[in-house]
A and B are shown apart, each in its own frame.
Chain A
Amino acid sequence: VARRKRRLRRYLGFGLLAVVLLAGGFVFHLDYRVRSEFEGRRFALPARIYARPLELHAGMRIARADVEAELRQLGYRELPREGEFGWFARRGERLEIAVRPFVFWDGPQGAKRLLVDFENGAVAALSDAAGQEVDLARLEPVPIGGIYPANNEDRVLVRLSQVPPHFVQALLAIEDRQFYAHRGFDPRAIARAVLSLASDKVQGGSTITQQLVKNFFLTPERTLRRKAIELVMAVLLEMHYDKNEILETYVNEIYLGQDRDRAIHGIGLAAQYYFHKDVEHLTLAESAMLVGMIKGPSYYDPYRQPARALERRNLVLRETRERNTITMEQYALARAAPLGVTKKSEMGTSPYPAFLALVHRQLRRDYDEADLRTEGLRIFTTLDPRVQMVAEQALTRRLAQFDKEKRFGAPGLEGAVVVTDPQSGEVQALIGGRDVRFRGYNRALDAARPVGSLLKPVIYLTALSESTRYTLVTPVDDSPFVWKSRGAPDWTPKNYDSRFHGMVPLRTALAQSYNVAAARLGTQLGLERVLDNVRRLGVERPMRPYASTLLGATEMTPIEVAQMYQTIASGGWRSPLRAIREVTTQEGKPLARYPLAVEQAFPPEPMYLLSSALQGVVREGTAQGLRQYLPPETPVAGKTGTTDEQRDAWFAGFTGDRLAVVWIGYDDNRAARLSGSTAALPVWGDMMAVLAPEPLTLPRPDKVELVWIDPESGLRGRGCPGAIELPFVQGSAPIDRAGCSGFEAAVESAAEAVDQAVGRAKSWLERIFGR
């Protein structure tokens, strides 16, 4: 019996030892997890992307309403609040702005007060609070989205020292009163929670440490086993880390709401999302609202459930007051305050998904995808929110109108728009489809479509590069034409109006977009030469060397077309289209700049002639319709493009300060029965009419002279009725005078002779002085 007892005891002992060992091993395992994961844990921080900052200076053409719109987008309030920034006030034609501080690529810029006077749609004067004149003021850039980790969690990290004390007081009062006293769990709170199970008001017994463990390491299932593990891990966490480390991690981790597909985590981002401010500046009332939301961010959503959120906030304030950490006065003031959330800007991961896709693509050349999603990089881009908005409105409105007129049924017409700065190649706006907020198929970047007549300018550019053979008035042949090539059927291009026009001046052939003349000229010049020039203009895509390519059978994306026309608009200077200016680390340390780069792709003379001819397209050709959108004194250049059976409608055009390309068509290649001039041009016109573009000014190259030409004969014709002044490369202008009659013509003829004599004398003098 004694032996059996002893044996039993030994078994029991072994069993106990095994249990202890197992439990110890498990605890050891948990301890390892807590330490390695907590220490190794770095919050994944999405790359943050900003629009271009608005820069104001005296003389700048911008309406007060546009500055106000930008400020509203930045979350500025229309209400002066002394001692704070991030607001503006209107006083007649003066705008007072309390500019927030911001860390730019080139360093931090402090908060400041700015007074802006407007006059006739321009900034008349700029001064600071002391009345000192300010040369140049830069507002902070509008955040336009991010590149997020897979779970779409977004956060702005904060240090505990940045968090206002009243936030911590409110947090502890409502979530964990014993936080600084307990060792990870609070037996009294647990007892209260267990007791409350019987009642209908169930209380949570979790300490902040336990909540953190739950969010950090565990799945959301609610079982006793998981509760036990949570408790052990909480105790372990407390053993290794001090209270403030735990609290800091907690305030950065907590989930505080949902912005479409983006999850708002941590109070740093919550402060910005709900109040448009940095965490340091949260008031007691604002802090209490956020603390109140921890329990149920969607239940206490201040936008959809303001009454609930307010009630909950006031409960938090009361609990905080009960613990005597705030004075009665503070309490009363906070209770009386409204919720004060700023207007909700539904943005999700971005309101400009198409532009962001371009940014992302350009970033991926230089950065690791994982770094973009986790390192909190700050990306400063070229997007101009106003230009983007105007483009969106123009496209959306017109597409709706065309859909209604055509009644082709679903899916409806699609469109894409690219707007750039012709001098620098910066992309100011980009639209990838009619649903401008949609994150999917981006037609501006990925829809390669036949470009139609958009390629014709390259044929004429190739011709004009030979100034001894081609000028703007050189007759080109628009009579029936057959192109024979071995192994391919004969090609007989036709004109849009199904007629032939015989011999026409080169500039007219371009202005009227005659297919036959262009095809004949292109084949005469040589297909390879023309395609080579397309490449020199910046199009990298391979093109089939078929004659039909000349008339735009070749496919390009809207952004490629924009690149091609950018080189034309800048007078032959190719700049790669850019969407990014600068990249910094999260702290603002500069990482990279994407500088302005130019390369002379063509000599200035033929480019000047081509731009002049493209102005002719708008003045008297297929884009005459633009005249109803823009004041006649605003010269613009552009080209319409329409493909077979009107499947694609294009317009590419430029002014002094903007270049835009518009494409409209169906995704499934249905015939849209809309031409470049009836569909794409109105979108372009609507857009530019709002943007009030600067007139197109091109510096006239030294070797280009202006000569009055009689349009009838194509000869010199100063004073002739309807004479026009056209540019010619020196020595290429017609020598003979038109025989137009009239006294005026005779006088002008004499004047012309004098001018020529002066010119000769001048060049003789210049030779002497060696200029």
Chain B
Amino acid sequence: MKFLVLLLAAALAGCATTDIMPFPDAAPETQPEPVPPLVTPAPDAPRENVAVARLMENARADTRAGRLAEAGASLERALRIEPRNPRLWHELARVRLAQGQFAQAENLAARSNSFVGSDSTLRSQNEQLIAEARAAGR
């Protein structure tokens, strides 16, 4: 029985990846992968933090208005609250890309990937961003 459930889950995960289009602003918040007993799960992860959501919102508004330094500052404030939130690292990478800091953009996206867990959408967004940063930095 356990075997079957796992099979199904794996199959669904596979389908999901192929169906969802990368759309940066609408991606669902990710649940982190269950962490092994050696390390206990992060206390800040499960429910969305309103402060972080607000800062992310501000950062997006700033980005749209071209205030990239301010956007970066807001994301760094958010990262002080949730340092393991892969979405925040990704958005910061995006800001650095827009600022023309390609090496930083690439590193930050890779950092986001290190926290991404099972969120394959965000993972592919990060990979795309890394490719973009590499191409632009050349």
Contact = CB atoms under 8 A, between A and B. Distances in A.
A198 interface: no
Nearest to B78: A136
A656 B36 contact: no
A635 B38 contact: yes
A421 interface: yes
B31 interface: no
B43 interface: yes
Q: By DSSP majority rule, is chain A's interface helix, strand, loop, or mixed?
A: loop
Contacts of B103: 599
A107 B33 CA distance: 38
Nearest to A593: B69
Name which of A59, A612, A696 has the most chain B CB atoms within 10 A of its CB: A59
A608 to B, nearest CB: 9
Given A596-B92, A633-B40, A697-B84, A135 B54 contact: yes
A655 to B, nearest CB: 11
A725 B43 contact: no
B39 to A, nearest CB: 5
B52 to A, nearest CB: 8
A378 to B, nearest CB: 15
B70 A700 contact: no
Contact of A700 (B33, B74, B77, B110): B33
Contact of A57 (B13, B39, B42, B81): B81
Contacts of A571: 114
B87 to A, nearest CB: 14
Interface residues of A, number: 53
B69 A136 contact: no
Name which of A133, A423, A657, A697 has the most chain B CB atoms within 10 A of its CB: A697
Classify chain B's interface size: 35 or more
Contacts of A59: 44, 49, 51
Nearest to B69: A593
B51 A596 contact: no
B79 interface: yes
Contacts of B53: 135
A136 B55 contact: yes
Interface stretch (A24-32, A510-518, A526-534, A763-771): A763-771
Nearest to A704: B36
A766 B33 contact: no
A424 B84 contact: no
B41 interface: yes
A424 B76 contact: yes
Contacts of A133: 50
Given A59-B49, A758-B3, A697 B41 contact: yes
B14 A699 contact: no
B83 A424 contact: yes
A275 to B, nearest CB: 31
B79 A590 contact: no
Interface in B1-35: 2-3, 6-7, 10-11, 13-15, 17-18, 32-33, 35
Interface in B66-111: 69-70, 72-74, 76-77, 79-81, 83-84, 92, 103-104, 107-108, 110-111
A193 to B, nearest CB: 58
B120 interface: yes
A507 B58 CA distance: 46
A189 B82 CA distance: 67
Nearest to B67: A106
A727 B35 CA distance: 12
A604 interface: yes
Given A596-B79, A766-B10, A699 B43 contact: no
A656 B53 CA distance: 22
B38 A769 contact: no
A598 B80 CA distance: 15
Contacts of B3: 754, 758, 761
B107 A593 contact: no
Contacts of A725: 36-38
Nearest to A633: B40
A697 B42 contact: yes
A55 B14 contact: no
A670 interface: no
Interface string A676-710: 00000000000000000011111111000010000
Interface string A426-465: 0000000000000000000000000000000000000000
Given A424-B79, A595-B76, A765 B10 contact: yes
Given A699-B114, A771-B120, A758 B6 contact: yes
A656 B111 CA distance: 16
B90 to A, nearest CB: 13
Q: By DSSP majority rule, is chain B's interface helix, strand, loop, or mixed?
A: helix
A439 to B, nearest CB: 30
A373 to B, nearest CB: 27
Contacts of B37: 725
A573 B111 contact: yes
A769 B120 CA distance: 13
Contacts of B40: 633, 635, 695, 697
A684 to B, nearest CB: 20
Nearest to B81: A57
Contacts of B72: 593, 595
Contacts of A745: none
Contact of B17 (A615, A699, A771): A771
A699 B115 contact: yes
Contact of B80 (A424, A600, A695): A424
Nearest to A52: B80
A600 B38 contact: no
Contacts of A699: 32-33, 84, 114-115, 117
Contacts of B17: 769-771
Contacts of A599: 103, 107
Interface string B97-137: 00000011001101100110100100000000000000000
Interface in A35-75: 55, 57-60
A9 interface: no
A769 B39 contact: no
A593 B70 CA distance: 10
Interface in A618-664: 633, 635, 656-657
Contacts of A55: 51, 77, 80-81
B83 A57 contact: no
Given A424-B83, A598-B111, A771 B13 contact: yes
B11 A769 contact: yes
B83 A657 contact: yes
A698 B41 CA distance: 9
A86 to B, nearest CB: 24
A765 B69 CA distance: 44
A361 interface: no
Contacts of A58: 49-51
A754 B6 CA distance: 12
A729 to B, nearest CB: 15
B14 A604 contact: no
Contacts of A106: 70, 73-74
A771 B13 CA distance: 9
Contacts of A727: 36, 38
10 contacts: A58-B51, A136-B51, A597-B107, A656-B42, A695-B43, A725-B38, A765-B11, A765-B14, A769-B14, A771-B14
Interchain residue pairs A-B with the least CB separation, the first 10: A769-B14, A57-B51, A423-B83, A135-B54, A136-B51, A135-B50, A765-B10, A697-B42, A697-B39, A706-B36
Interface of A: 55, 57-60, 105-106, 133, 135-136, 421, 423-424, 571, 573, 582, 590, 593, 595-600, 604, 612, 615, 633, 635, 656-657, 694-701, 706, 725-727, 754, 758, 761-762, 765-766, 768-771
Given A55-B80, A582-B73, 17 more contacts: A55-B81, A58-B49, A106-B74, A133-B50, A135-B54, A423-B83, A423-B84, A573-B114, A600-B107, A604-B114, A635-B39, A698-B39, A699-B114, A725-B37, A770-B14, A770-B17, A771-B14
